[in-house]
Structure 1
């Protein structure tokens, strides 16, 4: 990767080399744009490296519901719970949580569901188009996913969730315990049943997906630079960016740096975005290939297990502690403890590796996908748990925003505008 930005003639500078930034860069370059990508890390080394790998098209509801108020004391007390709030971060988090609760009122809640559903309904086909275009459809397994429950008293909640999903036209089937064991025989006998989502899938290696997109982007003429963008300002004919190695000017800039997007967005647009980060952990088990046929989530244990080429990835906890505090890796190892009893034989954690990354989350659970400042600033961030799921369709939307005549048939933009804040 080159270190220095040597020219100032780029059409678009993409800030962020995660899955969304790289997918956008590739699609923009295919429209004839001269594109550079700038990130302080190598491509795919942020949240895109360690996500759960689940193509989560079924997740059409917000990241929280009103019951969060009841759970707040437990969040503060239990460092190993599925949803943790670092008490030292509480003063900074309270305004964000206040806005989240306001968005759980009926009207904004329905707007969120509609916005998520529109993106997710388009996501699988968008990914198939993108992977086919780089000759790597094999990186995605379109084989569904399963939510299992173990307690008989959980069945009413599962049936209610199935009804809610069907109301949103999400394909979903109820599986009995015998049906679960037929497809996933290594799961424990205590599994009572589950919900199977046929229009979902999983990626065999999320980091490899980024690498293959980077390779295709370079072939299309995209340049990648490892620098830290420290600020920027609008100019008459473009945007001037300040990096740790100097200045660079482009006609347009796309802010797609996930949880780190707020500062530059404010600098260029004057808009303060209520962006926070959900710190997510995973534990990779390299000796567990073949244990599951597809991604499986536990309703009661609240984590997901995804089979990958590198083993079985356990993921799914949420921690609010900001961008600066060091990782609390015991939460990653807690995932292995959570798995005990869910299988006929316990998972092998030998040589397991823990990881933590930042999910960029907005209080209405919707991303910002927009064009502002007379077209000079494009925005694609805030996808919370769904960055991998929505990356390909987001790239198609950004192409349409950058060149309105270039694409059609992508979700309407209104729900994702910056101006909603």
Structure 2
């Protein structure tokens, strides 16, 4: 048996720890916080099987100037951060070109179209089944969408077999959202988009399954990491040195300094998002989760109230801008004017790990044998967590033990942003 350390107890790390422990590795999961208290705690709770195309796209690029001029925009770029964000933004522009977007769509879709299957495999093992809902989700548009843009979107959904149903404003109010303002254009219902009632408890469920499979947990900080003798990896944990046969870095936005210490300088940025938790409404405001496309946020009825989640804040400082969270509550009040707004129970902010091509990073570090990484899932960490856990476990097992779908991991390699033409090709099969 090999000793494996997984750094990061979010949705990706706990799913990976479960698969590694189940495959026979002596698995230690390490985090400085309890399981699921990072971005896994604050996400919208959607399993977004429609997100086959990355956000780095020509359509996103064309809409950025307009969004930056709006005070309530779902996108904000801090002016003071422009110098340090410039390399990331330049690469984002490059990845948004049509030919790169098309290539990246094929890669992302190879994961997204298999995400539901990975969730189903966990549910079949009676893991987090009581928190899972297969009730679909709505996308609401307040204005008509340009015909060419709509055609491109629907063509992608059709190509990858994503089921949907277009609804008029009247149908939306009659079937799903009776209290919604009548001043909307149309909506799209996705019957295959599942959701959960409590994201943090879902991660706790993955964690409990990993512990039951034989993993153990350390509430600690990883202060250092470096290669050691015979292919082993030396870790400094709370000031104490230890050796591992293999290490997985799945620490979200905190993965970058660990990777830098091992010679991999990747353009992983912290993309800040916010949520507002409303208390349980006295009326049935929401029957399904709903996303308002122009405003860039999602409303999800959860076990402890309605969660409003969204916004993209690039180059944010250490202190949160709670006005960004308050915008979400203002949007909700405008969209549901009938009746009193439920009270704000809590607010949250967190930093998504995001790469310029909006693809995750799954693979072995090129300059550090037996160190693997699974990060950069941006808005899709919750959707792709179970699948990534399967893929990286099989990769670390050198394809011998853990089950995983046949997916080409070459587009998600660690060194894909370098100019090295001699890149390794790694396929899970």
Q: Fold match, TM over 0.5?
A: yes
Offset from partner CA, 1:178-201 (integer Å, 9 cap, x none) = 331232123222233211112211
Offset from partner CA, 1:190-232 (integer Å, 9 cap, x none) = 2332111122111110000011111121122211111111221
1:304 — aligned with what?
298
- Alignment pair present for 1:345 and 2:341: no
Q: Is the 8 A contact 1:134 1:213 kept in 2?
A: no
Q: Secondary structure at the match of 1:390?
A: helix
1:251 — aligned with what?
245
Q: 1:417, CA displacement in angstroms?
A: 1.0
1:79, 1:226 → 2: CA distance?
A: 40
Q: 1:233, CA displacement in angstroms?
A: 0.6
- Alignment pair present for 1:122 and 2:118: no
Q: 1:63, CA displacement in angstroms?
A: 1.8
Offset from partner CA, 1:353-380 (integer Å, 9 cap, x none) = 1100111000111111112457511110
2:188, 2:69 → 1: CA distance?
A: 31
1:70, 1:332 → 2: CA distance?
A: 25
Q: Is the 8 A contact 1:396 1:410 kept in 2?
A: no
1:272 — aligned with what?
265
1:167 — aligned with what?
159
Q: Is the 8 A contact 1:158 1:194 kept in 2?
A: no
1:347, 1:305 → 2: CA distance?
A: 16
Q: Is the 8 A contact 1:14 1:256 kept in 2?
A: yes
Q: 1:68, CA displacement in angstroms?
A: 5.6
Q: 1:133, CA displacement in angstroms?
A: 1.6
Q: Secondary structure at the match of 1:370?
A: strand
TM normalised by structure 1 equals 0.91
Q: Note the residue ranges of structure 2 that are not aligned, 5 or more in a row.
A: 418-429
Offset from partner CA, 1:128-152 (integer Å, 9 cap, x none) = 2113324432211112111112234
2:144, 2:395 → 1: CA distance?
A: 49
Q: Is the 8 A contact 2:4 2:28 kept in 1?
A: yes
2:329 — aligned with what?
336
- Alignment pair present for 1:405 and 2:400: yes
Q: 1:113, CA displacement in angstroms?
A: 0.5
- Alignment pair present for 1:395 and 2:402: no
Decide whether aligned partners of structure 1 residues 354 and 150 sit closer, same or farther in structure 2, where only a CA change above 3 A counts. Answer: same
Q: Is the 8 A contact 2:52 2:113 kept in 1?
A: no
1:196, 1:98 → 2: CA distance?
A: 35
Cα root mean square deviation, aligned:
2.2
Of the three residues 180, 200, 204, the one matched with 2:172 is 180
Q: Is the 8 A contact 1:339 1:346 kept in 2?
A: no
- Alignment pair present for 1:225 and 2:215: no
Decide whether aligned partners of structure 1 residues 71 and 120 sit closer, same or farther in structure 2, where only a CA change above 3 A counts. Answer: closer
Of 78-87 and 324-333, more deviation after overlay is shown by: 78-87
Q: For 1:302-381, what aligned pairs fall within 5 Å after superposition?
A: 302-322=296-316, 324-346=317-339, 348-372=341-365, 376-381=370-375
